[in-house]
Amino acid sequence: MNDILLWITIIVGCLFFLITVLMEYGETTHLKCNIKVFFIGLCFTLTMTPLLYQLIINFPEENKISEWFENNL
């Protein structure tokens, strides 16, 4: 996977987190609350996935999982 793509994924995750801050304005509704929870989960996933990917492919020992990630993603 390209390093620039990993950085873009992290930045998009941070932008989604900023969107959740905007959900605090105005009246709190059931829909806003559900959307906020969705965006928090999405931003956590988008920011942590590239880090986990780098940890897996740079694992010091060669194993099937790190080889599969390196060859297929």
Predicted confidence (pLDDT) per residue in 13-67, tens digit: 889 888 888 888 888 889 888 988 898 999 999 899 888 888 877 777 777 877 8
| Mean pLDDT of all residues in 66-70 | 78
What stretches of 1-73 adopt beta strand conformation (E)?
Answer: none
Which residues have C-beta within 8 Å of that of residue 39, sequence separation ≥ 6?
Answer: 16, 17, 19, 20, 23
Query: CA torsion sign, 30 to 32 to 34 to 37?
Result: negative
Q: Is the pTM value of this prediction over 0.75?
A: no
pLDDT score of 44:
92
pLDDT score of 72:
81
Q: How far apart are CA 18 and CA 46, in angstroms?
A: 13
pLDDT score of 1:
56
